């Protein structure tokens, strides 16, 4: 899929967290040349892979 063919996002996730944690996260993402949104999406995808593998089953 080329840059012009990216699938549009059709949903948002809103969350609340302490401002100091949000600010540290934004700063850390900028420090490693990524975006907060990209890292959150990456986390969600990794979590779902683990979930699908049954890693959270008791």
Q: What is the pLDDT of residues 3-53, one digit of tens each?
A: 666 777 789 999 999 999 999 999 999 999 999 999 999 999 999 999 999
pLDDT at 1 over 70: no
Residue 6 lies in a domain: no
CA-CA-CA-CA torsion sign (6, 14, 48, 35): positive
pLDDT value of position 4: 63
Residue 33 lies in a domain: yes
* pTM, rounded to two decimals: 0.79
Question: What is the extent of the structural domain holding 49?
Answer: 16-58
Residue 10 lies in a domain: no
Angle (CA) 35-50-55 rounded to 5° is: 145
Domain count of the fold of the chain: 1
pLDDT value of position 29: 98
Residue 53 lies in a domain: yes
> Residue 57 has which token pair?
């089953």
Residue 8 lies in a domain: no
Residue 7 lies in a domain: no
Residue 35 lies in a domain: yes
């Amino acid at each position: 899929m080329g840059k012009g063919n990216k699938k549009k996002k059709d949903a948002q996730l809103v969350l609340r967290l302490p401002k100091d944690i949000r600010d540290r996260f934004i700063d850390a993402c900028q420090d490693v040349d990524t975006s907060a949104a990209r890292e959150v999406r990456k986390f969600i995808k990794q979590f779902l892979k683990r979930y699908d593998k049954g890693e959270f089953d008791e």
